[in-house]
Structure 1
Amino acid sequence: MPTSTDLPLLCPVCSGQLVFSDANAGGSTAPGQHRLACTSGHSFDAARQGYFNLLVGKGTAFEADTAGMVEARFNFLGHAHYRRLAEAVAAAVVPCISEERAVVLDSGTGTGHYLRVLLDTAAAQGRPVSAVGLDISKFALRRAARLNPEAVNLVWDVWQPLPLANRSVDAVTVVFAPRNPPEFARVLRPTGRLVVVTPRDGHLAEIAAMTGMLAIEEGKDVRLAAAMGRHFDLEASSDVDIPLALTRPEAADLAFMGPAGHHLERREIVERLEDRAEPVRTEAKFRLLVFRPKNVAAA
């Protein structure tokens, strides 16, 4: 369960402040669990695995990652293949956080591996930080809550208003996840930063050709710049390239853990790789972008 219970969380029903309360007071949850509740009486019990589901109403049209996709991602990232990327994200974020009561939002936290490295990096530098991890997939948050028990892990749809107070967050990280620029700008403090990671042209090209992974959309960088331009100014951009030499099961996990997992069965990917010699070689190509809120003085 989270080590920090003083976070700027908002009730998704009434927008009142959400605070941690004694889950056993009402007798509806097991000992050791927690509940988030507001003064209007809306409450959300922690799932057995440690995350909270704040989704209310009709739900979301966004397609969540399946249990199989999440397992593939957990296995692949657990072997530290993308460790260099996680360290680059942490290096971009940690200098931006405040020295006291720092808060980081990991939007689209997935299995929590990138946030784990960020939290460890901040702690090693003597800069403790509270963290909120959002994801639409309950399967992902089951993993994230175990990996990052000190964070508050929430099932949430990033296209809805974020359950966080205005100007309450030092940094927002978005690694291969949907982006909601107006909401990110709203929750960021004036000195805050938004760190976005996207794939570049040629990302995993060799494995994509073997397995039927979706290609990188043309013009994606232009659309990203246009979407961010109303709310953010680009402060820095850097590329992270990671050569990969994988076993066939690792290559299958890599293909299945992304968008291909929504339209291909894992067995299909495994079959397409079964005649390939090991190691299966490819290169991951990422772009890391750091944005600062626009027109802070006038906001």
Structure 2
Amino acid sequence: MLADIVDALRCPLCAEPLALVDRSLACPARHSFDVARQGYANLLPGGARPGTADTSEMVRARSAFLGAGHFAPLAAALGSLLRGTGRILDAGAGTGYYLAAVLNADSVGIALDLSKHAARRAARAHPRIGAVVADLWQDLPLRSASVDAVLNVFAPRNAAEYRRVLRPDGALFTVTPSSRHLGPLIAELGLLTVDDRKNERTDDALAGHFALASRDTLDLTADLGHAEIATLVGMGPSAHHVPADDLAERIAKLPDPFPVPLSFVLSVYR
């Protein structure tokens, strides 16, 4: 709920602290932001555009895929890494699936996403999640040193802002695909590949703000039906790379179900 996280929020227009007043968030400079009836707040500055935010159809498909449990081992691994963490920011939270999985009785979560459709679901994903619509590439609507951990799963990494909002002893937890992710699907469907230097490039992008503390790889295999494969592809960067008709034709040629390798790199930065 927003009441659990409001003390971490700041106005996106003037950076003053926000307070929850009736059904809105307001700052001392009298900037006000309505809280939607679904429980999330939109803190995009005036005139900002949602751009590449996930549509309602994309969010619905992603929710169904994650709800089927295909990525449950990844969520469990993140839960082990973040056990005992107080306030967690999920930057690029989507439906709130991973954030809900890592929260325990003593923690609260802040779900930031550019999509209002994702924020609606994140606000309902767990009773101690406060969901906010915000652009990860801009200044985050959070006070400095206000969170204990930043979770970043397949989402943009704004190193300077993540460091600003983290407490000095906090950590950034990222999940990226390894070069083994999706295996034969890449050639069969003409998908984008993950190069072998992705970890190195991620480290370089965070350098100056974060240093790598640990890194592990999680390898799984999921037997997916054709519809699930289409959803999985639609959740990644290849969604805009392969024409929909071409993708459907290629998927139809695969065995049903088809064993799909899932390979994730879990990194911790401090």
TM-score, reference length from structure 1: 0.84
Write the letter of the residue equivalent to 1:19: A
Q: Deviations over 1:195-244 (max 9, x none)?
A: 01111112112223233332214532222111222111211110011111
More deviation, 277-286/201-210: 201-210
Match of 1:59 among 36, 45, 48: 48
Question: SS where residue 110 of structure 1 aligns?
Answer: coil
- Aligned pair partner of 2:28 in 35, 39, 48: 39
2:95 aligned with 1:111? yes
Q: Give the distance between the partners of 2:41 and 2:244, measured in 1 at CA.
A: 29
Q: Find the residue that maps to 1:88 and give its secondary structure.
A: helix
Given the alignment of the two structures, is residue 223 of structure 1 paired with residue 201 of structure 2, yes or no? Answer: yes
1:85 matches 2:74 = yes
Matches within 5 A, 1:151-166: 151-166=129-144
Cα distance in 1 for residues equivalent to 2:118 and 2:97: 11
Match of 1:170 among 138, 143, 148: 148
1: CA distance between counterparts of 2:5 and 2:171?
A: 23
**Paired position in structure 2 for 1:10:** 10
Structure 2 portions without partners, runs of 5+:
none
> Deviations for 1:115-155, whole angstroms, at most 9, x for unmatched residues?
11011xx22xxxx1121101111222222222234311111
Partner of residue 28, structure 1:
none
Task: Please give the alpha-carbon distance, in whole angstroms, between the structure 2 residues aligned to 1:269 and 1:141.
Answer: 29
Q: How does 1:199-278 map to 2 (within 5 A)?
A: 199-217=177-195, 219-264=197-242, 266=244, 268-278=246-256
Amino acid across the alignment from 2:178? R
Moved over 6 A (4+): none
What SS class does the counterpart of residue 100 from structure 2 fall into? helix
Instruction: Say how many residue pairs are matched.
Output: 270
Is the 1:66–1:137 Cα contact (8 Å) retained in structure 2?
A: yes
Unaligned runs of 5+ in 1: 24-34, 293-299
Q: With structure 2 as the length reference, what TM-score do the two structures score?
A: 0.93
Does the CA-based 8 Å contact 2:148-2:170 persist in structure 1? Answer: yes
Distance 2:101 2:167 in 1: 22
Letter in 2 for 1:103: R
Partner of 1:297: none
The answer (yes or no) to whether the contact 2:7–2:17 under 8 Å persists in 1 is no
How big is each residue's C-alpha offset from its partner over 1:149-196, in whole Å with a ceiling of 9 and x where there is no partner? 431111111111111111111000000000011111111111111101
Change in 2 beyond 3 A, CA 1:77/1:61: closer
Q: 1:146 to 1:42 in 2, by over 3 A?
A: same
Contact 1:135–1:157 (CA<8 Å) still a contact in 2?
yes
Residue 19 (1) aligns with residue 19 (2): yes
The 1:146/1:265 distance shift into structure 2, 3 A limit, reads farther
Look up the SS of the partner of 1:7 in the other structure: helix
Moved more, 142-151 or 248-257: 142-151
Q: Distance between the aligned counterparts of 2:87 and 2:177, measured in 1?
A: 26
Distance 1:6 1:64, change over 3 A: closer
Residue 50 in 1 paired to residue 39 in 2?
yes
CA shift at 1:254, angstroms? 0.7
2:59 paired residue among 46, 65, 70? 70
Q: What percent identity do the matched residue pairs reach?
A: 43
Tell whether the 8 Å contact from 2:191 to 2:241 is kept in structure 1 after alignment: no
Question: What is the rounded CA distance, in whole Å, between the counterparts of 2:130 and 2:268 in structure 1?
Answer: 24
